[in-house]
A and B are shown apart, each in its own frame.
Chain A
Amino acid sequence: MNDSLLILFLQIIKNNGNVKTLLEYGYDFAQISRHIKQLKVEYYIESYKDHLRLTYKGEEKLKLLNSKLNRSGSSKWISPQENYKIEKIGIYDIYLP
């Protein structure tokens, strides 16, 4: 799992967020489920009273990754939607969404 994806998972789990973002990235439910299992095995997350939550190790990892990827402000807890970013175009180019 690359750092951007790991941050995304940890953020979603920390906020008990919707898996929709991960589906938009192209993962299906079973693949997301497998990643969750892997994060449990690596002890970044754990089940607690019917919810998933970050462990101390997971919190520290999130801090580290935010720092590594220069995330600040709201980007620390909500990842930019890279999948919607397009390549920069020239000032006189026409963009049709």
Chain B
Amino acid sequence: MELSISTLDKITNLFEELQWEIEDQDDNDFSLFIRFCTLMSYLSDPEQELIIELTKKQYLRVKFEEYNTLIETAFKKALENSTKDLERIKKLYVIPLLAPGDRGKIKSSTVVAYIFQNVEFQYKKLFKSMKIQVMHELSAKIINKINENEEALLLIVDDFVGTGETAISCLEEVCSTEGVKKDKVIVLSLVAQENGVNSVNSFGVEMFTAFTRKRGISDYYKENTKKYINIMKGIEEKIQPSEKYQLGYLGSEALVSMIRTPNNTFPIYWLTKGKYKNTVPFPRW
């Protein structure tokens, strides 16, 4: 267990800069700060430096209380950038972004959809004179209304889109199977990886986010990509994620935590396994 006092000081500075809470055992036995420091003490010097660098420069931690604001930010981008004339929309149908097999499960996209039922949204200038209707699923009658009414739009929402795999399977069901026209759909996510946005756009559907994120190492450190990837792989040899989660799900290299940390994020931040079980900063329970 190796953590120099200078490195502990760097971690303190990191937490202060990010405005993350620093709690001791009297406040919280397993506080984020204690977990983070404990985890770092299992890493070598270059590994510690890399995690501090990535966390400091790029880590995005979104708390639940920020969801309202980020929904507005994402929707504002849709209003400003969509090729559709959203000013004409009077009826907004909202459904959660769910893979067909996930219907009925508790998913974060359902939480985001539910937020649209917030009565305050109806009175916000951003939504102007739009009537918002939140649903679990679409009936044939609603699908017909969306397709035939030029003042109607379907919004499919989520808090995080990673590779776009789930988004595409949802869109295939909604558009290809159930028959909603692609130009009557917008996908809205609070945060998304760039690859995920590209996937949805390639499907022929517009997508807007509050934050679009690049891969944490490969897209950010052009000159040191190989070096940093090797260091991260060294870290992952210790924690042993399964192959599909190496460097984050399908190599997403995400640096994000939401209500729950997506598995697209580098697993060192969330994988609860072996001796590291109680030390990860943002576990996926």
Residues of A whose CB lies within 8 Å of any CB of B are: 12-13, 16-20, 28-34, 36-37, 47, 50-52
Contact = CB atoms under 8 A, between A and B. Distances in A.
B38 A29 contact: yes
A28 B38 CA distance: 10
Across the A-B interface, the 6 shortest Cβ-Cβ residue pairs: A30-B24, A29-B37, A33-B12, A51-B6, A28-B25, A52-B6
Chain A, interface SS category = helix
A28 B8 CA distance: 11
B6 A32 contact: no
Interface residues of B, number: 21
Contact of B8 (A32, A47, A50): A32
20 contacts: A16-B4, A16-B5, A19-B3, A19-B4, A19-B5, A19-B8, A20-B3, A29-B11, A29-B33, A29-B34, A30-B22, A30-B23, A30-B24, A30-B31, A31-B24, A32-B5, A33-B8, A33-B9, A33-B11, A33-B33
B140 interface: no
Interface of B: 1-6, 8-12, 22-25, 27, 31, 33-34, 37-38
B41 to A, nearest CB: 8
Given A19-B4, A28-B25, A50-B6, 18 more contacts: A12-B5, A13-B6, A16-B6, A17-B4, A17-B5, A19-B8, A20-B1, A20-B2, A28-B34, A29-B34, A30-B25, A30-B34, A32-B5, A36-B8, A37-B12, A50-B10, A51-B6, A52-B9
A30 to B, nearest CB: 4
B55 to A, nearest CB: 16
Contacts of A18: 1-5
Contact of A13 (B5, B10, B22, B31): B5
Given A29-B38, A30-B22, A30-B25, A36 B9 contact: yes
A52 B37 contact: no
B261 to A, nearest CB: 21
Contacts of A29: 3, 8, 11, 24, 33-34, 37-38
A13 B7 CA distance: 11
Contacts of A28: 24-25, 34
B5 A36 contact: yes
